[in-house]
């Protein structure tokens, strides 16, 4: 056992440590090789101690939520995956505000809002990600995004201190924030919503769910929208116009239902997915002169 592994285990009094954990078990793409270390800290001290140890030992680490916007290489990740699990998933309501831990699913937050007749989170009901990841990338759908409802965020600074920040301080942009550059870790988010009609909230939520089921390939593993929306264009339309609907590399395929999704039709590898993404980017550029940027984050060794 390495000295780093021993120190990592000592930092986790209540949390769990796994060695060579397959990341295919923890991403919605269902692909990805093993992480050297996979930890599940169960309180703020364990989280802070694990991150401090990684920094001291110069060991890379990555904060994992629901793994819904992530493609991990087949050779795995040389470092520590820090999974924000059950301890970080608490949700509570105070008047028109919902407080949610970084590990809470957006769908659960939207459901909490619906139960309390609070409007504004309906767009998030079908987004498969967790609160932390959604805040970091300012996730959105159907014309709305986190910036529209996010009020405050509690982060853990690189110095191990808790800091509360307003949404404005996070410099939220299209699928971006300043959180990664600052080295912050999202601990909790506060959403400010509006009182609404319960029937109207439920009706809108169901309407969006019907749209998702009819237009998105939810029956296959994927990471959601694979590419960012290019200014003035729609990625799916550009891909379709390039004649790429249904194009495959190994087990990875451009969805025939929605060309903006790369799906795992069965047995795909991370290399299959990445090669297909690169081919799509190349052919869209050649066809339309538009550069598609990946929305999916690449992690580890391919």
Alpha carbon distance 69, 30 (integer Å):
12
Torsion of CA 8, 9, 15, 19, to 10 degrees: 80
Cα 102 from chain centroid (whole Å): 11
Mean pLDDT of 183-205: 95
Mean pLDDT of 193-198: 95
Alpha carbon distance 240, 218 (integer Å):
19
Q: What is the DSSP letter of 62?
A: E
Model pLDDT, residue 256: 97
pTM over 0.85? The answer is yes
Model pLDDT, residue 86: 84
Contact between 194 and 224 under an 8 Å Cβ cutoff? The reply is no
Catalytic, out of 97, 175, 229, 265:
175
Alpha carbon distance 103, 91 (integer Å):
10
pLDDT band at 70 (very low <50, low <70, confident <90, very high): very high
Main-chain phi, psi angles of 209, to 5 degrees: -65, -40
Query: Is residue 295 among the annotated active site residues?
Result: yes
Task: Return the domain boundaries, the chain.
Answer: 3-86, 89-214, 217-299
Main-chain phi, psi angles of 52, to 5 degrees: -65, -40
Per residue in 241-287, pLDDT (tens digit) is 999 999 999 999 999 999 999 999 999 999 999 999 999 999 999 99
Alpha carbon distance 85, 13 (integer Å):
16
Architecture of domain 3-86: 2-Layer Sandwich (3.30)
Contact between 77 and 299 under an 8 Å Cβ cutoff? The reply is yes
Q: Which residues contact 210 (CB under 8 A, 6 or more apart)?
A: none
Model pLDDT, residue 85: 83
Q: Return the CATH fold of 217-299.
A: 3.90.78
Per residue in 1-48, pLDDT (tens digit) is 579 999 999 999 999 999 999 999 999 999 999 999 999 999 999 999
Which helix H or strand E contains 134, and what residues bound it? helix 131-137
Catalytic, out of 40, 122, 188, 295:
295
Query: Is residue 225 among the annotated active site residues?
Result: yes
pLDDT at 157 over 80: yes
Model pLDDT, residue 95: 95
Alpha carbon distance 256, 66 (integer Å):
25
Model pLDDT, residue 126: 87
CATH class of the 89-214 domain in this structure: alpha beta
Mean pLDDT of 91-111: 96
Query: Is residue 175 among the annotated active site residues?
Result: yes
Model pLDDT, residue 160: 87
For residue 194, count CB atoms less than 10 angstroms from its CB and return exposed for 0-12, middle for 13-18, buried for 19 or more.
exposed
Mean pLDDT of 141-156: 95
pLDDT at 100 over 60: yes
Mean residue pLDDT of the chain comes to: 95
Model pLDDT, residue 232: 94
Alpha carbon distance 32, 74 (integer Å):
5
**Residue 231 zone, left/alpha/beta (φ > 0; ψ -120 to 50; rest):** beta
Model pLDDT, residue 1: 55
Main-chain phi, psi angles of 87, to 5 degrees: -60, -30
Catalytic, out of 24, 48, 125, 225:
225
Q: Which of 79, 80, 68, 90 has its CA nearest to residue 40?
A: 80
């Amino acid at each position: 056992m390495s000295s780093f592994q021993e120190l990592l285990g000592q930092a986790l009094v209540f949390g769990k440590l796994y060695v060579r954990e397959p990341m295919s078990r923890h991403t919605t793409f269902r692909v990805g090789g093993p992480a050297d270390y996979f930890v599940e800290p169960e309180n703020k001290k364990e989280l802070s101690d694990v991150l401090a140890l990684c920094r001291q030992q110069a060991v890379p680490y990555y904060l994992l939520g629901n793994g819904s916007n992530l493609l991990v290489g087949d050779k795995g990740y040389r470092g520590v995956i820090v999974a924000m699990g059950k301890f970080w998933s608490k949700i509570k309501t105070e008047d028109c505000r919902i407080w949610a831990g970084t590990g809470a699913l957006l769908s659960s937050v939207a459901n909490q809002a619906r139960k309390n007749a609070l409007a504004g989170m309906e767009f998030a009901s079908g987004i498969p990600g967790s609160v932390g990841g959604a805040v970091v990338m300012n996730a959105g759908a159907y014309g709305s995004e986190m910036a529209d409802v996010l009020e405050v965020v509690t982060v853990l600074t690189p110095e191990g201190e808790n800091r509360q920040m307003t949404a404005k301080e996070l410099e939220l942009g299209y699928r971006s924030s300043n959180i990664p550059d600052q080295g912050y870790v999202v601990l909790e988010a506060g959403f400010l919503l509006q009182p609404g009609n319960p029937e109207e909230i439920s009706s809108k939520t169901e309407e969006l769910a019907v749209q998702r089921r009819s237009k998105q390939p939810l029956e296959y593993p994927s990471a959601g929208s694979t590419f960012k929306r290019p200014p003035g264009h729609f990625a799916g339309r550009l891909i379709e116009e390039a004649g790429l609907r249904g194009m495959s590399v190994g087990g990875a395929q451009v969805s025939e239902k929605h060309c903006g999704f790369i799906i795992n039709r069965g047995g795909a590898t991370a290399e299959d997915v990445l090669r297909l993404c690169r081919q799509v980017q190349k052919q869209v550029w050649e066809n339309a002169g538009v550069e598609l940027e990946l929305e999916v984050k690449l992690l580890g060794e391919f």
